[in-house]
Structure 1
Amino acid sequence: MTPLPSGFGLVLDRSVRRYRDGRVLVGGQPPRRIRLSDAGRAALADLLAGRAGSPPAMRLARRLVDAGLAHPRPPAAAAGPLDVTVVIPARDRPEALRRCLASLDPATPVVVVDDGSEDPAAVAAVCRDHGARRLHHERSAGPATARNTGVAAATTELIAFLDSDCIADPGWIGRLAGHFADPLVGAVAPRIRPWFLVCGDGWVSRFDQARCALDLGPRESLVGPGRIVPYVPSAALIARRRALPAFDERLLHGEDVDLVWRLNDAGWRVRYDPGVVVEHEEPQTLRALLDRRWRYGTSAAPLARRHPGRFAAVVTRPVPAAAAALLLARRPVAAACLVAAQAAWWQRRLGPAGLPARRTFAWSAQAVGETLVGCGAAATTYAAPLLALGLSRRATRAPAALLLAGAPVVTWVRRRPALDPVRWTLASVCEDVAYGAGVWRACASQRTVDPVRLVFIRRPSPPTGWPGGPSRVRRERARRPAGTPPADARPRRGR
């Protein structure tokens, strides 16, 4: 195992719980359980305190980072200019491009690929005003082709991709570049937050502020299928040139998901660092938001063709699924018995590691709750007509309403957006239905049902996020090459 380089610090993921005086760590996504020796516990304490680690300690740090139990803190980047080129695909919208270029460090080389603009002179004038090199496609070939053209024209060690409708802090590249001190890191992405050209108090803008499709949230993560952050958008992304495969030019949407997963399959680490923020100009009408979600949905089937087994509408386990079904059938006592039985099973396995009974019972109840929310979101997205039929009948009205409103209400409670729950729920349902329509459209054209299938994972395990237990993970890691995601991993819906 390649150790984490000297000079890196370490912080534990917020999901991690320590038991037996810190000798047992449980957490991450997928969940892992790691036992530490006394020497390992002391080494971890040194790393968390910021003290220099020995080679064995840095190997432990690598193991924790790869397991998602900890996150690296790279050393400060060396002073001086970075060996990086910014590649910006653009098509018309010269004012957006002007704002984007004005936000960058003027000392950083920039290549703008004009992908068949109707007014190429306006784009050329903006590039000339900001000292950016301009390349031109006579006809629009899509963002993947434009980025490949920009990469071919660059000669630097790092390539920073930025969309023309983004506004970046001048130091965003420098703040992310420290991650590349780790030789296994192939790409790093910042958090993308929405930005609106016209400021106002529109409810659509307030909705998008809290549910932006490009915003992957505040939790840092190693990126890959089955993790907290399964992919990162190429709207803002820095990659190591020698690690970078070509974007698939056949994909008009989802080409960034495909790229990230191929980086993972090649053994490269991709990191998401939400401490650095890039702003993205967002649509301000509901129709524009729904159109974007529909287009993102059309990428699901082509991606499923390229990455078999990584897409599913719902991934769950039989016991939580059965308990959720009993709750929908208004049999709470039977559901509670199942929850208690699963909690007892987990306690028998994990109690010797020091986990208290209340924790295993909470995990069991959480698994049922997440299954209900996930099934509700999937039913809204892929089977909205059936939910509408259920709402029209008295016998099925309550469970249909629970499935329809469950996911939006839970999200509203967690995020507390500046929007009332009624409009939040209606807009969330509309977005999910639009995404599902795009998925079904693509499934029909690609002749596949992979993105809309239900997947059961048979072996139960503690649900720290989506279930995927410690013993199962250990077996998979022994069977598969480093960096290869598990076969049943699922991406978060959104791209």
Structure 2
Amino acid sequence: MTKDIKISVVIPTYSRPQLLMECIHALALQHFDSEAFEVLVVSDGPDAATRKVVNSWKATGLLQLKYLSLQRKSGPAAARNKGWKNAAAKIIAFTDDDCRPDPEWLNRIWQHHRKDDDLVAYTGKVIVPLPEQPAITDHAFNTSHLAKAEFITANCACTKAALELTGGFDEQFTMAWREDSDLEFNLLKHGIPIRYLPVARVIHPVRKSSWGSSLADQRKGIFNALLFRKYPDLYKTRIRQSPPLKYYLMTGSLAAFIICLLAGNLPAAALLLGCWILGWLYFTAQRLMHTSRQLPHMLEMLYTSAFIPLLSIYWHFYGSIKYRAFFL
């Protein structure tokens, strides 16, 4: 290694070797001196397949690659911390294993960095390619919202000094949710400027999801409460996310239906069940408004729309109790 490392790229990953392979391939195509940047792949726990991918790329000699691993699965925030703390460069760029950085990505970051900027962060442009209608699924539509995020770990960079001052990522965020907003708010709290670089682009393809995956996604709502507890004012102005009113109305009418049914008040139970059905169908129609009308997808929307309100409220209050952060 004859040249100084200018940028260190950190990629958290776990058990997604094919996606990681494509991400590393995109980094190998960077219009940036391969001796001037390194790539640190951090596995969120022991993962032989990930190690094998990294070793196969190291053998090509096209990139300076390092493989690191957490002792046990702890989440992408912990993986990113291990990465930047072991990085050689003063600028740490973050992306994810399901992303493909544009060939000019690192070059644009480096061109816009001033050497006297010890405390600064950058956020780039995320592009989410979507299929044409009618093939857009609910999962794809939700993924497309990443393109509107203010600060996202799929495409951001910080000086190492900024990460050291803020402490980096909060490892209480054990899922890929709100840990990037937490870092953003922490940077703002410390007065560290975040500069938007629309010319630094990363492609975030929509990966395949399992049927009904939106139900499991509701668990992420726990971390809304953690972020609210830490930064209530910023959360209110920039996030403002909590279960919507229709979720409470649907869950409330369902609970009241069960109570009336058990009490033998059948007319009231029938009315409340009708209210829940109307809410369920309305919610389903909302989700189908911009997405596929193909039968399998419609059945998935009908099924998941029946349970999402209940799960969303459950995880919201679970997080509120766990982190002692009560908000509606």
- TM-score relative to the length of structure 2: 0.69
C-alpha contact (below 8 Å) 1:89/1:147 kept by paired residues: yes
User: Are the structure 2 counterparts of residues 286 and 236 from structure 1 closer, same or farther at C-alpha, using a change threshold of 3 Å?
Assistant: farther
Partner of 2:194: 270
The answer for unaligned runs of 5 or more in structure 2 is 258-268
Partner of 1:97: 20
Partner of 2:262: none
Question: Structure 2 residue aligned with 1:279, among 197, 200, 204?
Answer: 204
Matches within 5 A, 1:48-447: 83-105=6-28, 107=34, 108-119=37-48, 121-129=51-59, 131=63, 132-177=65-110, 180=113, 185-193=120-128, 206-212=137-143, 215-217=146-148, 229=149, 231-244=150-163, 245=166, 246-253=168-175, 254-271=178-195, 276-291=201-216, 293-311=217-235, 378-382=244-248, 384-388=250-254, 401=278, 405=282, 409=286, 416-419=290-293, 423=298, 426=302, 429=305, 433=309, 434-447=311-324
User: Are the structure 2 counterparts of residues 299 and 383 from structure 1 closer, same or farther at C-alpha, using a change threshold of 3 Å?
Assistant: farther
- What is the Cα deviation at residue 280 of structure 1? 4.2
C-alpha contact (below 8 Å) 1:82/1:174 kept by paired residues: no
In 2, the alpha carbon distance for the partners of 1:268 and 1:123 equals 36
User: Are the structure 2 counterparts of residues 272 and 211 from structure 1 closer, same or farther at C-alpha, using a change threshold of 3 Å?
Assistant: farther
For these two proteins, the number of residue pairs brought into alignment is 292
User: Are the structure 2 counterparts of residues 169 and 118 from structure 1 closer, same or farther at C-alpha, using a change threshold of 3 Å?
Assistant: same
Query: 1:322-363 CA deviation, whole Å, 9 max, x = no partner?
Result: xxxxxxxxxxxxxxxxxxxxxxxxxxxxxxxxxxxxxxxxxx
In 1, the alpha carbon distance for the partners of 2:197 and 2:305 equals 29
Question: Could you say which structure has the larger radius of gyration?
Answer: 1
- What is the Cα deviation at residue 135 of structure 1? 2.1
Query: 1:408-435 CA deviation, whole Å, 9 max, x = no partner?
Result: 74x876xx44547994975884685344
Matches within 5 A, 1:31-46: none
* Matched residue type, 1:103: A
- What is the Cα deviation at residue 168 of structure 1? 2.3
- What is the Cα deviation at residue 105 of structure 1? 3.6
Query: 1:387-422 CA deviation, whole Å, 9 max, x = no partner?
Result: 54699765997899579837974x876xx4454799
C-alpha contact (below 8 Å) 2:10/2:41 kept by paired residues: yes
User: Are the structure 2 counterparts of residues 237 and 256 from structure 1 closer, same or farther at C-alpha, using a change threshold of 3 Å?
Assistant: same
User: Are the structure 2 counterparts of residues 418 and 175 from structure 1 closer, same or farther at C-alpha, using a change threshold of 3 Å?
Assistant: farther
- What is the Cα deviation at residue 88 of structure 1? 1.0
User: Are the structure 2 counterparts of residues 202 and 430 from structure 1 closer, same or farther at C-alpha, using a change threshold of 3 Å?
Assistant: farther
In 1, the alpha carbon distance for the partners of 2:183 and 2:126 equals 18
In 2, the alpha carbon distance for the partners of 1:93 and 1:201 equals 28
User: Are the structure 2 counterparts of residues 384 and 128 from structure 1 closer, same or farther at C-alpha, using a change threshold of 3 Å?
Assistant: farther
User: Are the structure 2 counterparts of residues 91 and 240 from structure 1 closer, same or farther at C-alpha, using a change threshold of 3 Å?
Assistant: same
* Matched residue type, 2:16: R
C-alpha contact (below 8 Å) 2:100/2:202 kept by paired residues: no
Query: 1:278-325 CA deviation, whole Å, 9 max, x = no partner?
Result: 21452422322332x223212112222222345569x99xxxxxxxxx
* Matched residue type, 1:122: K
In 1, the alpha carbon distance for the partners of 2:113 and 2:22 equals 28
CA RMSD of aligned residues (A): 4.4
User: Are the structure 2 counterparts of residues 439 and 301 from structure 1 closer, same or farther at C-alpha, using a change threshold of 3 Å?
Assistant: same
In 2, the alpha carbon distance for the partners of 1:298 and 1:147 equals 21
In 2, the alpha carbon distance for the partners of 1:261 and 1:126 equals 38
- What is the Cα deviation at residue 207 of structure 1? 2.4
The answer for unaligned runs of 5 or more in structure 1 is 1-80, 218-228, 317-373, 453-495
C-alpha contact (below 8 Å) 1:167/1:279 kept by paired residues: yes
In 2, the alpha carbon distance for the partners of 1:82 and 1:136 equals 22
C-alpha contact (below 8 Å) 1:380/1:387 kept by paired residues: no
Q: Secondary structure at the match of 2:146?
A: coil
C-alpha contact (below 8 Å) 1:110/1:133 kept by paired residues: yes
- TM-score relative to the length of structure 1: 0.48
